[in-house]
């Protein structure tokens, strides 16, 4: 009998997802060029008698129709070359599922090209890392809805579950699955940066030890801030280095790397003219961190002043409020971007379903996602999370802490780009009349770019400097 699904790429993610599928009772197989990867799958999947092929023809021949072929290979040109190798071997109606972090524009193009040849192409985001793949990730598939029916059962079986609900849902047409995964990663970048800034404040404004920082994070993680990233962060501050006996975190270079998904989120937000400044700051600050030599030199030119915090317990209470405020804001920005993309690209996104499948399995899973889920369930067309009455009540309550922490940081000279941007974003968005009238006046003054009036329809131009010839 033939296999229900075949995985191409048996690296960490592909192998673990395949093992997860086998655990759930599906007849699955794999393909990899590298015999070592095949060997590893056979060893890890011994109890299920998992097999894999090193011949693409044999692999394709072993799959039932319509074929479900999942790719977990590095994003970029490799995806295209695998597709080209596959094409001559496929039949109309077969389904290719690209589960890597591909750029959504690549996915749109591939889906269009393949649709012309009768092949269903799915761009599918998978979040949760190695553990998630093995025991339950959050899954974001986008593509042809009818073809999704062929994958639903297997995806629901392997995904994470929250209150019995699977953390997978059909996201929408085209590249919407990869788009939503990209925005997930943008929010991930923002949350990571916020946690890093909270750490910086505890370390440098409060002069807390790693043990104290660990305790604070652990306490927060038992409350409304509970989240996977906070849990990970808490554990990092208890992790000892074998080599030195100290805390490993202190021995890690302060230069952050990235693979591009955060940057893509920022780039798209500029294209769609939908601001997500806290995510942008998270992307930029990773890049800024790479200028180590310049930073060290400038730290001598502009030495850090001392600023003592009077009541440390109070500061910690405010920092918890500030973090909550900024985390809410990061989700709000990401969801606002999804709201806009849904209109611009006609993705028809269901934001409450997206919040629902982010509640478990993924890197940005957090207690707060339940609130987001409820807000969008109640109001599916909600434009912005800030506009929900329940969220507004929360923000009002924690705003004083947010203002206090950002003020402290600004006065001390400690950099809090993500916190500060979250607060100014909020302040700008709740401004009924912004000073943007001046921008329009300036544009019209030097470039005759015209302006609109508050008291009349149409566009206008003023002769701003009649004295000059
Ligand atoms: C996930 C992660 C995953 C990966 C990112 C990290 O949802 O499981 O987001 O996709 O960890 O690619 O991205 P950077 O290397 O850019 O930090």
- Residue-by-residue pLDDT tens, the chain, 469 positions: 899 999 999 999 999 999 999 999 999 999 999 999 999 999 999 999 999 999 999 999 999 999 999 999 999 999 999 999 999 999 999 999 999 999 999 999 999 999 999 999 999 999 999 999 999 999 999 999 999 999 999 999 999 999 999 999 999 999 999 999 999 999 999 999 999 999 999 999 999 999 999 999 999 999 999 999 999 999 999 999 999 999 999 999 999 999 999 999 999 999 999 999 999 999 999 999 999 999 999 999 999 887 778 899 999 999 999 999 999 999 999 999 999 999 999 999 999 999 999 999 999 999 999 999 999 999 999 999 999 999 999 999 999 999 999 999 999 899 999 999 999 999 999 999 999 999 999 999 999 999 999 999 999 999 999 887 6
Q: 221 C-alpha vs ligand 1 centroid, how far in Å?
A: 22
Q: 181 C-alpha vs ligand 1 centroid, how far in Å?
A: 10
Distance from C-alpha of 113 to C-alpha of 121, rounded to nearest angstrom: 9
Predicted-complex ipTM score:
0.97
In the set 150, 181, 197, 353, the catalytic residue is 181
Ligand 1 in reach of 28 Cβ (< 6 A)? no
Q: What DSSP letter does each residue of 172-236 carry, written as one string?
A: BSTTHHHHHHHHHHHHHHHHHHHHHHHHHHHHHTS---HHHHHHHHHHHHTTTT-BHHHHHHHHH
Whole-prediction pTM: 0.97
Architecture of domain 5-174: 3-Layer(aba) Sandwich (3.40)
Is 153 part of the annotated catalytic residue set?
no
Do the annotations mark residue 127 as ligand-binding?
Answer: yes
Instruction: Write down the domain spans for the chain.
Output: 5-174, 181-429, 437-469
Architecture of domain 181-429: Orthogonal Bundle (1.10)
Ligand 1 in reach of 265 Cβ (< 6 A)? no
Fold of 437-469: 1.20.5
> Which residue's CA is the closest to the ligand 1 atom numbered 12?
259
53: β partners: 31
Pick the closest to residue 181 from 258, 281, 114, 264 (CA basis): 264
Which alpha helices (H) appear in 50-124, and where do they start and end? 56-61, 77-86, 104-115
Residues 6+ apart with CB under 8 A from 188: 229, 262, 363, 364
Pick the closest to residue 258 from 181, 188, 360, 179 (CA basis): 188
Distance from C-alpha of 415 to C-alpha of 290, rounded to nearest angstrom: 15
- Report yes or no: 127 and 181 within 8 Å, Cβ to Cβ: yes
> Which residue's CA is the closest to the ligand 1 atom numbered 2?
127
Ligand 1 in reach of 188 Cβ (< 6 A)? yes
């Amino acid at each position: 009998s033939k296999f229900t699904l075949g995985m191409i790429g048996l690296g960490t993610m592909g192998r673990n997802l395949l093992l997860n599928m086998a655990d759930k009772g599906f007849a699955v197989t794999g393909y990899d060029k590298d015999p070592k990867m095949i060997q590893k799958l056979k060893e890890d999947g011994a109890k299920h008698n998992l097999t894999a092929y090193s011949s693409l023809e044999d692999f394709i021949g072993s799959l039932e129709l319509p074929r479900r072929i999942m790719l977990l290979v590095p994003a970029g040109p490799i995806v295209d070359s695998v597709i080209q190798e596959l094409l001559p071997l496929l039949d109309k109606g077969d389904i290719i599922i690209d589960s890597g972090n591909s750029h959504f524009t690549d996915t749109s193009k591939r889906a269009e090209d393949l649709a012309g040849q009768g092949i269903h192409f799915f761009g599918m985001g998978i979040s949760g890392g190695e553990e998630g793949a093995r025991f339950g990730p959050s899954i974001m598939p986008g593509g042809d809805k009818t073809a999704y029916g062929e994958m639903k059962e297997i995806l629901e079986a392997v995904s994470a579950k929250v209150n019995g609900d699977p953390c997978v849902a059909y996201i929408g047409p085209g590249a919407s699955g990869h788009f939503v995964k990209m925005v997930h990663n943008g929010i991930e970048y923002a949350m990571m940066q916020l946690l890093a800034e909270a750490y910086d404040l505890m370390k440098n404004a409060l002069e807390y030890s790693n043990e104290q920082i660990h305790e604070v994070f652990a306490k927060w993680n038992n409350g409304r801030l509970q989240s996977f990233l906070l849990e990970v962060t808490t554990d990092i501050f208890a992790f000892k280095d074998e080599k030195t006996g100290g805390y490993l975190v202190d021995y890690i270079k302060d230069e952050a790397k990235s693979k591009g998904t955060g940057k893509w989120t920022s780039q798209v937000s500029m294209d769609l003219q939908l601001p997500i400044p806290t995510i942008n700051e998270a992307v930029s600050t990773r890049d800024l961190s790479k200028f180590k030599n310049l930073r060290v030199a400038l730290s001598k030119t502009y030495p850090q002043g001392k600023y003592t915090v009077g009541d440390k317990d109070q500061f910690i209470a405010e920092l918890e409020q500030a973090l909550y405020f900024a985390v809410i804001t990061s989700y709000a920005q990401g969801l606002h971007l999804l709201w806009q993309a849904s209109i611009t690209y006609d993705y028809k996104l269901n934001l409450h379903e997206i919040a629902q499948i982010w509640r478990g399995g993924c890197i940005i899973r957090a207690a707060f996602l339940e609130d987001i889920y409820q807000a969008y369930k109640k109001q599916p067309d909600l434009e912005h999370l800030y506009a929900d009455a329940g969220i507004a009540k929360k923000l009002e309550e924690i705003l004083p802490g947010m203002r206090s922490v950002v003020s402290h940081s600004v006065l001390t000279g400690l950099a809090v780009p993500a916190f500060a941007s979250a607060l100014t974003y909020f302040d700008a968005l709740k401004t009924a009349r912004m000073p943007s009238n001046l921008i329009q006046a300036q544009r019209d003054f030097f470039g005759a770019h015209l302006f609109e009036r508050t008291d009349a329809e149409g566009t206008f131009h003023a002769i701003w400097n009649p004295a000059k010839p």
